[in-house]
Structure formats: structure tokens, C-alpha cells
């Protein structure tokens, strides 16, 4: 790389060749003896041949003016280095790019006389910073592949792996069991990993322009540690499943309890006792009459209450039973009128009115 920092020049039949690293500067020489003839007719032109059929103007001097913006790719990076009218028409190019490579021609014309120079410029690029990665299983007894590759740079690029001592950062040899892939030097195989294989590894990518490197760490795990890690992962998964199941059951239990609490007020117990009617002994005909009317009103009120309750019950009811005063029976093939029940007399005899389920839609006496 140090040999490239200074211009490496040689002559071959009046042709010069330069080799430079990308991003560096270069000066292409061109000297003439025509500046003293006629100042007004001096013409200087630099041309670039990138191929046999492609030619580009780089910079020119004509009619007393310099034109250095002729090539869009080199605009702002080319200039004359010295007093070109006095005899030094050398070309300077800064921040070299790979597109600057090619054959340059310097032509000087004055008073019908010509002088020219041919120069070949080669631009080489350092390898880009390589990428390092691992392929394989980091456990004892397994094989591991170290991979390294640069995405750009002037070919050929060579790769070399080495181990780094983390204490003094010095390069060391690879483990004895390592194998380098001859067809792909960027690949090294570490066979039969052991704890001694653990460490820091460096890959160097090198070409004639320079070098770049990357590092990767190898940490070999015990087989026992791998089993413990796998068991821990399984335990965590099982624990999460159990937790989810417990939460799910708790939510369902709460929903069921809330449903039961909402449905409880809508249920009517079959043994609920209806309000008792207060009977008063008849002291006179008028009081008897009032008691009778009171008993009848109480009976109708109770019947209306039962009628309202039966409408709130479920439609999935058992077959209806009609009260005695409304049911009709067929006895001997003939219909007989039901006997009417005197509730007032039943009250006097100590009978108690009881609410029955809505399915029966009636009262029963006990």
C-alpha cells in the first residue's frame, strides 16, 4: 500500500502509466515547448479514452479561456497544475474514482505545430469492510463455519482468518482442528468444538490497494447448559399455559355467578304462601254484607295477583290444570257443570289460600 501512495511511473515508448488508489489525488504530466511561439493561437486539450470507441474531453484551453466543466463525471475535480502557457500543461485529478481510469491524451497545438503525451491511469479500490458471520451450532462436539466476504474492491481480494488474543490484542494461529476452504478462502471450518475454541476471530480482506477487517466472537456452550436452557424454556411455556387456563376458568366462573344472580329474582317458589285474608264474624246483616264484599274483593285481588305472576314465568310450562270452578269433566259420556266453591265458607272453616305455580293458573286449598 505504501508503494501506491507515491506515483509508480514507468516509460514504454513514450507512454506513461500511473496507478492510484481510489479517493487519492493524481497529477498526469504534460510538458511542451510551444508556448513561446504565438500566445494567441495556443491550444491545449486533455482527452480520456475509456474504450476504443468512447472519447471524452476532460479540460481545454483555447482562445485565452479554460474550460474545465466538459465532463459531468469529473466536473469540479480537474484543473491545470501550473502555468500551462509557459510549458507545463499537467492535469490534476482529485478524489479519484474508478470511472477516472483509462487512457489520457494531452495535445498541445500552436502555430501549426503539435506535441502530445499518452498516459494510462489505473484506479484500484480497497476492499470494502467485510461482513463476518457464523454458520453452525455453538455447542461442544459440533462443527462451526466462519464466513467472511467484501462486497466491493478491486480483484483479486484475498481473505485470511486469525484468532485474536483479547488480553494483548495480538494475532494468533487458528485452532489445530480448523480447516480452510481452498475454493473459498473466506470460509474456515472449526471442527469438533471445545471450550478452547471460544474466543475472538478476525478476518482480513486484502488486495493491492489496501485491506479491511471484521471480527466475530465464538462462544461454545456446554451440552448440559443447552439442556438446562431447553428445560427452562419448556417450563416457561407450560407455566404460561397453566396461567392462561386458570384465568379462563376464573372468568367463566364469575360470568356464571353473575348470570345466576340476575336470574334469581325472576323465579317464584312453589311453596310461597299467599297473603291471608282477615275474616270478621258477622255481627249484623250489614256487617256480614260488608265482610262478604271484603272477602270477595280480597279473593279477586289475590286471583289478579296470581294472574299477573303467571305471565312472567317460562313458556316451558307443564300442562295446565284448570281450577275446579272452570274445569269440566266427562262422566259417563256427559258433561256436568262444575261445582262452585264458596271461598267465604272455606275461610270460615279455617282453610288457607296458597299460591300455586303459574302453570296451574289456579288456587288450591289446604
Contacts of 131 (CB under 8 A, 6+ apart): 148, 149, 150, 151, 214
Please report which confidence band the pLDDT of residue 297 belongs to, taking 50, 70 and 90 as the band edges: very low
| H or E element that contains 304 | helix 285-310
Q: What is the pLDDT of residue 341?
A: 55
Above 90 in pLDDT, residue 44?
yes
Which tens digits make up the pLDDT trace of 310-337? 444 334 444 444 444 433 444 444 444 5
pLDDT tens digits, one per residue of 92-144: 999 999 999 999 999 999 988 889 899 999 999 999 999 999 999 999 999 99
* CA neighbor of 354 nearest in space, from 310, 316, 303: 303
Report the percentage of the chain scoring pLDDT > 70. 64
Residue 22, pLDDT > 90, answer yes
Residue 243 pLDDT grade (very low, low, confident, very high; cuts 50, 70, 90): confident
Cell reading at 164: 485474536
- Identify which of 209-213, 228-232, 256-260 has the greatest average pLDDT: 209-213
Amino acid at each position: 500500500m505504501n508503494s501506491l501512495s507515491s506515483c509508480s511511473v514507468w516509460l514504454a515508448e513514450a507512454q506513461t502509466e500511473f496507478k492510484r488508489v481510489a479517493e487519492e489525488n493524481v497529477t498526469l504530466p504534460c510538458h511542451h515547448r510551444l508556448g513561446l511561439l504565438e500566445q494567441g493561437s495556443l491550444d491545449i486539450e486533455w482527452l480520456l479514452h475509456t474504450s476504443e470507441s468512447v472519447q471524452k474531453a476532460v479540460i481545454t484551453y483555447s482562445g485565452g479561456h479554460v474550460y474545465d466543466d466538459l465532463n459531468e463525471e469529473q466536473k469540479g475535480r480537474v484543473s491545470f497544475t501550473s502555468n500551462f502557457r509557459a510549458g507545463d500543461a499537467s492535469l490534476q485529478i482529485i478524489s479519484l474514482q474508478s470511472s477516472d481510469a483509462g487512457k489520457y491524451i494531452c495535445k498541445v497545438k500552436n502555430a501549426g505545430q503539435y506535441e502530445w503525451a499518452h498516459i494510462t491511469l489505473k484506479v484500484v479500490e480497497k476492499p470494502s469492510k467485510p461482513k463476518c458471520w457464523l454458520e453452525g451450532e455453538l455447542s461442544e462436539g459440533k462443527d462451526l463455519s466462519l464466513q467472511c466476504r467484501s462486497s466491493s474492491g478491486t480483484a483479486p481480494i484475498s481473505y485470511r482468518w486469525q484468532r485474536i488474543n483479547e488480553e494483548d490484542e495480538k494475532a494468533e494461529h487458528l485452532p489445530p482442528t480448523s480447516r480452510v476452504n481452498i475454493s473459498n478462502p473466506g470460509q474456515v471450518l472449526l471442527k469438533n468444538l471445545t471450550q478452547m475454541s471460544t474466543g475472538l476471530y478476525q478476518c482480513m480482506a486484502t488486495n493491492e490497494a489496501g485491506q479491511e477487517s471484521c471480527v466475530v466472537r465464538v462462544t461454545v456452550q456446554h451440552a448440559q447448559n443447552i439442556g438446562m436452557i431447553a428445560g427452562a424454556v419448556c417450563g416457561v411455556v407450560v407455566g404460561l399455559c397453566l396461567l392462561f387456563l386458570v384465568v379462563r376458568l376464573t372468568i367463566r366462573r364469575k360470568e356464571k355467578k353473575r348470570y345466576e344472580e340476575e336470574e334469581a329474582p325472576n323465579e317464584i317458589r312453589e311453596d310461597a304462601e299467599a297473603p291471608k285474608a282477615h275474616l270478621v264474624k258477622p255481627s249484623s246483616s250489614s256487617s256480614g254484607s260488608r265482610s262478604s264484599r271484603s272477602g270477595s274483593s280480597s279473593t279477586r285481588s289475590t286471583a289478579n295477583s296470581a294472574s299477573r305472576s303467571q305471565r312472567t314465568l317460562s313458556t316451558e310450562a307443564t300442562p295446565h290444570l284448570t281450577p275446579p270452578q272452570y274445569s269440566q269433566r266427562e262422566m259417563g259420556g256427559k258433561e256436568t257443570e262444575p261445582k262452585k266453591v264458596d271461598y267465604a265458607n272455606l275461610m270460615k272453616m279455617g282453610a288457607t289460600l296458597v299460591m300455586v305455580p303459574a302453570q296451574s293458573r289456579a288456587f288450591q286449598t289446604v
